[in-house]
Amino acid sequence: MLQCKTSQKTYLKECSLDLSTIKMLFVDDDPVTCKVMQRQCASAGLDMRVFQSPTECLNEFTKSGADVVVTDLRMPEMNGFDLLTKLREIDQDALILVMTGHSSVENAVEAMKRGAADFIKKPFDFDEFTLTVQRSIESHELKKENKLLKKRLRRSGNRFGMIGDSPVMRSLFNSIEKVSEVSCNVIITGESGTGKELVAHALHDYSPRKDAPFVVIDCGALTETLLESELF
């Protein structure tokens, strides 16, 4: 949920994304809300189609798509949860914001589980709305870029700072991805020069502990007794 007091003038000044180029769909069964939103978007030069019917909104999305869909949650014809699910069936990367006057933690959690990008509590002002859309689009684009970058790195065989695309290297990369998410002790074995320290760095850099120090100890410089007492 967004709690924001930023003025529209300040927001537009700080906004790096031109929202006038973004196609948006807005659906709410309340005719007053729709009329106000349509008037404000037209005044701000935003490209927004407003619907009172979720079915009509879904049909428009199916026909022409959209960059952002904003939907109310409680509607008689089709609730926002069902609409959200149907939209994501059409486009799994669809950017969807949900809003409701019956705000609750349960509603927010359920909306996020179904793929909503953000949750807006009604009533909200137009400044809050445009700022939420701005932030959601920027976050959404960043995630898409990261996903694309990861795909390119995998195709190039360069992952975790290591180059290789053989079955053995792919197996190693997959093991690093799985183990890095688990909080456990890991022993890395291999002959000298095979990249054990690279693997250790990769496990650390992609783990929940990535912001903690990575400490390298030269075990060869320690006696067996001291090594055992210090590490274990």
User: pLDDT of 2-43, one tens digit each?
Assistant: 233 334 444 444 445 778 889 999 999 999 999 999 999 999
* pLDDT, tens digit (0-9, with 9 covering 90-100), for 177-194: 888 888 888 888 888 888
Cα(78)–Cα(185) distance, rounded to whole angstroms? Answer: 50
* Amino acid letter, 44: A
* pLDDT at residue 154 in the model: 60
* pLDDT at residue 8 in the model: 43
Copy the structure tokens of residue 175. 């093991």
Q: Is the pLDDT of residue 66 over 90?
A: yes
Residue 115: left (phi > 0), alpha (psi -120 to 50), or beta?
left
Q: Is the pLDDT of residue 87 over 50?
A: yes
* pLDDT, tens digit (0-9, with 9 covering 90-100), for 141-165: 888 887 777 666 665 556 777 777 7
Identify which of 8-17, 88-97, 210-219 has the greatest average pLDDT.
88-97
* pLDDT at residue 165 in the model: 72
In Å, what is the CA distance from 65 to each residue of 12, 53, 163?
Answer: 26, 16, 39
> Span 201-217, mean pLDDT?
85
Cα(186)–Cα(179) distance, rounded to whole angstroms? Answer: 8
Q: Is the pLDDT of residue 221 over 50?
A: yes
* pLDDT at residue 1 in the model: 29
Burial profile 56-90: b = 16 or more Cβ within 10 angstroms, e = fewer: ebbebbeeeebbbbbbbbebeebebbbbbebbbee
* pLDDT at residue 60 in the model: 95
Residue 1 or residue 69, greater confidence: 69
Residue 62: which pLDDT band, with cuts at 50, 70 and 90?
Answer: very high
* pLDDT at residue 11 in the model: 41
* pLDDT at residue 151 in the model: 66
* pLDDT at residue 36 in the model: 93
